[in-house]
A and B are shown apart, each in its own frame.
Chain A
Amino acid sequence: SAVISQKPSRDICQRGTSLTIQCQVDSQVTMMFWYRQQPGQSLTLIATANQGSEATYESGFVIDKFPISRPNLTFSTLTVSNMSPEDSSIYLCSVRTANYGYTFGSGTRLTVV
């Protein structure tokens, strides 16, 4: 399966600032996704990161708040903009491999103070 490197692993940020999370995969993958996991909760899909075009956002998530880049088939970034304490969560990158398996990064634990 694909190996995902996600950075940073954790951060504490001031409200009103922005944080960019990086996701690097060791092989080319077609599908990349960004999820949010609020404390003690399940995984909620934020968006599908599309290579060479705008990301596809799920209901409740907008590009101005969560801009996503996907410049190539191995890399993507998610920015959490103008942060508030409600954005404190774990953010996870996921990729879909050729055999339809989905692999997750180790996550970014974000705390907004």
Chain B
Amino acid sequence: GENVEQHPSTLSVQEGDSAVIKCTYSDSASNYFPWYKQELGKGPQLIIDIRSNVGEKKDQRIAVTLNKTAKHFSLHITETQPEDSAVYFCAAGPSGNTPLVFGKGTRLSVIA
């Protein structure tokens, strides 16, 4: 089955700097790669996703890149702000009606 590895487990950046979180996956059949942000006491919120026919996607300060050959994808947050502090999860979705497999999460702290 699918296995998703996520690094780093914790990340501290200064406000205004960029943050990068990386994930690798094992199942070449996976074709959907979302990123979730989870704040304390809340459920995960989808912030951006990418599908296997696209190499990069951007939404304001957030971007995701996908390298299908290497089976890895990354989240990039530019101009970080204190409200970006949260736990971020990557996930991979195999084709069909199968559920997502999640990475172990990255706790991002943005220091003002």
Which residues of A are in contact with B by a Cβ distance under 8 Å?
Answer: 1, 6, 30-31, 33, 41-43, 45, 48, 92, 94, 96, 100-107, 109
B102 with A92: CB separation less than 8 A: no
A104 with B34: CB separation less than 8 A: no
Task: Determine which of A41, A42, A48, A101 lies in contact with B99 in the assembled complex, contact meaning CB atoms within 8 Å.
Answer: A48
Shortest A63–chain B CB gap in Å is 17
User: What are 21 pairs between A and B in contact, CB < 8 Å?
Assistant: A6-B43, A31-B99, A41-B104, A41-B105, A42-B105, A43-B89, A92-B43, A94-B99, A94-B100, A96-B99, A100-B51, A101-B34, A101-B46, A102-B46, A102-B93, A102-B99, A104-B36, A104-B43, A104-B44, A104-B45, A109-B41
Residue of B nearest to A107 (CB): B43
Q: B60 near A: Cβ within 8 Å?
A: no
Which residues of B are in contact with A by a Cβ distance under 8 Å?
Answer: 32, 34, 36, 41-46, 49, 51, 89, 91, 93, 97, 99-105
Collect the chain A residues with CB atoms within 8 Å of residue B102's CB: 42-43
A42 with B43: CB separation less than 8 A: no
Task: Determine which of A6, A43, A96, A106 lies in contact with B97 in the assembled complex, contact meaning CB atoms within 8 Å.
Answer: A96
Shortest B39–chain A CB gap in Å is 11
Collect the chain B residues with CB atoms within 8 Å of residue A30's CB: 97
Task: Determine which of A96, A100, A106 lies in contact with B42 in the assembled complex, contact meaning CB atoms within 8 Å.
Answer: A106
Collect the chain B residues with CB atoms within 8 Å of residue A92's CB: 43-44
